[in-house]
Structure 1
Amino acid sequence: LAVIDEQHRFGVEQRESLRGKALSGKAPHLLIMTATPIPRTAAMTWFGDLDISWLTELPGGRKPIRTFVVPEADGPLMGSMFAHIRRRIDAGERAYVVCARIDDADEAGEGDVLDEAMATESAQSARNGAVLSPRPLHTVVQIADRLAKLPQFQGVRFATLTGRDDDATKQQVMAGFASGETPILVATTVIEVGVDVPQASCIVVFDADRFGLSQLHQLRGRVGRGGTSSWAFLVSQAEPGSLGEQRLAVIRDTTDGSTIAEEDLRLRGAGDVLGDAQSGGKSSLKLLRVVKDAELIVDARERAEALLAEDPELMGEVELSGAVLDFTRGNETYLTGS
C-alpha cells in the first residue's frame, strides 16, 4: 500500500516512482489525498485511472471561512482590511500574510504562480490597443517592511518565513507565531501545508490573481482551524473582466475543493492526461476535451469496463486490440484515426 498525502505537492514522476517501490514488482494499492485535486488528476478520474471518494463536510468544530477579493488599488478598502486584522490580533488571534517571492533576487517565486495568465492578459490588451507591462510580484521583504510602517500595526511585531530558512529557524518562527510573540507572519507559500495554528483567524494573499486556484484553497485552509470565525483576503490587481478576476470569483464564492478543482480544470486546461505535464498547457488529446466531453468519457469508461469483463484479452476485438498495443508502444496516432 502506498499513501500519498497532499498529492498536489508531488510531481507526476515522483508519484510514479513511489508506486514502483514494491519489492514484488507489482504495483501496490495506491491512496492519494488532497483538498483540491490538480487539474491533471481531476481529468484522470474521468478516464478510469483512479476511483474517487469525496469528503464534503468540514472537520468537526470548524466554521466556514469568509473570503473577500480586495482590489489593491482601493486604498480605503485595504485600510479597512488592515484595521480588521489589528482588531483580531488585539483579541488574541493571529494573521498570515502571503507573498509569491522572497525578495527582489527571487525571480521565479515560490508556489503555483500563473505567469501564463499574465501573458494571456497582456496579449488580449495588445489586441485591444492597450499596453500592459508585466508587473512584478510582491515580495516578503517588501510587504513586511510596508506593513510594519502602517499605523494599524503600531506596536505589533512581525516575523517572516520563506523556503530559504533552515528547519531550526522555521521552528523558532512558528513557535513565536503560535505563542503570539509575533502575531503577524509574512511568508511565502511555505506555509501551505503542515502548518496548524488554531489561533490563526486571518490570511492575506498578495497577487492572489496570479496563484493557482488549488493553492489559494490550500492557503485559505491555514485559518479557521480553532473553531473561531475566520477571514481570507485575496489582494488582487486583476483588471475588470479579466481571467484573473474570474478565477478569484471562484475562490470567493465556494469553499468546495471539488468545485474549485473543476473550475481550475476548465480555466487552465487538463494538462497532458496521457503524459506528465501536470497542469494547464497543451494536451496530447486530439479530439476530446475533458470538461466539455465529461459525459462521453464516463460513458466510454463504462462501456470499456463491460467489454473487458466479457473479453479480457480482446480476442473478439482485433482492431481495438491493435490500438491498445499501439498505445502501449507509444504510438498515439490511433487517437485521430477513423
Structure 2
Amino acid sequence: MTRRRFPALLAGLFAAAALGLSLPATAQQYKDEYKLSTVLGEAFPWGWGAKRWADLVAEKTDGRIRIKVYPGTSLVSGDQTKEFTALRQGIIDIAVGSTINWSPQVKELNLFALPFLMPDHKAIDALTQGRVGKRLFDILAERDVVPLAWGENGFREVSNSKHPVRTPEDLRGLKMRVVGSPLFLATFNALGANPTQMSWADAQPAMATGAVDGQENPLGVFSAARLHTVGQKHLTLWGYVADPLIFVVNRKVWESWTEADRKAVAEAANQAAKEEIARARAGISAGDDAVLKEIEANGVAVVHLDDAGREAFRKATADVYREWAGRIGADLVKQAEEDVARR
C-alpha cells in the first residue's frame, strides 16, 4: 500500500509545482547548508555567539538544518554596510548582525548610536528587552527578514596612538576610523576629530601604518584583536554608544522550514544570544574587570571618565543627538528615553 501511494504523492507534488501552487513546508527542499554572516570570528563574543547558534540549531533539528558561519562579512566582500541588503536578497541566509552596520538601510536602528543615550547595561536591556526592542523587531519584520533575538557587541570605547583623551578638545584633529554610518561621522566631526569610514578588515593595517590614529570599539574587541600591538596605547572609557546585535533569518528561508524547525531555530537563537551577552559583558565591570586589567597589563594607559567628564562630551554632541533624533523618529526616541530613565 505504501509503495502505491508514494508515486501518487510525487505526482501530486509535481502537479502542484506545475500549477504554481505553494507546497507545504514539509515538502519543500531544505538546503544542504545555510550561510550565516557575521563580522567577527570566534575569538570575539560576536563570532562565538554565531557559532553557538549554528551548533544549537544542528542539535535541536537533529541535523536537518546545518549552518556554516562566514566571518569577516566575507559573503559581501567585507563590506559590513551591505550585509543587510544581501540578507534581504537571499545572498545571505542567516546573520548575527550589528545595529550600526544595518542602520544605513533601517534608519530606526540608529537609535543605539545616539551619543550618550545609554549610560549602562541596564539601559541597553531596558531598550532591547522592552517595548523599543519589540517595536524595532516589528520594523525589521517588514523588510524580508525574521528577527529572533538580541545579542550584544558592547559599549564602544575610544582609543588612539597619540595622547590621552579626557576632553572633547583632546580628539581635535585625530584621524579616527569609524564604521560606515553617517551618524558616526557626524558625532566625531562634532568633536573636532577627522573621522574616516573603514571596514574592520582594513582598520587594523591602517592603525599599524599610522594611516589612522585611533578607533572606537568595545573592550572585548580591543582585547581580542590585540589593538595595543598596532599603536593603540591610549584608551578612554566613555561608553558613548552601544552596539546591540540581532539574530535574524531571511524570510523565505524561514518560511521554507517546518513549524517545528522554526521553533527549534528560535529557541536556539534565544539561548545563544543570552550566552553571547554574558560573554560580551564578562571581565569589563567593576566586579569583574579581568579584560580591562589585561589591557592595562599590555601597556595601555586607561582614562576612566567620571560623570562630569562624560557630560562635556555629551554637550559637545548634543546638536547631533537632536538632529538624528528627528531622523530616527521623535516618538521612538522619546519612548527610548523614558525606558532608560525608568530602568
Q: Which has the higher helix share?
A: 2
- Place the TM-score, normalised by the shorter chain, in its bin: under 0.3
TM-score between the two structures when normalised by the length of structure 2: 0.24
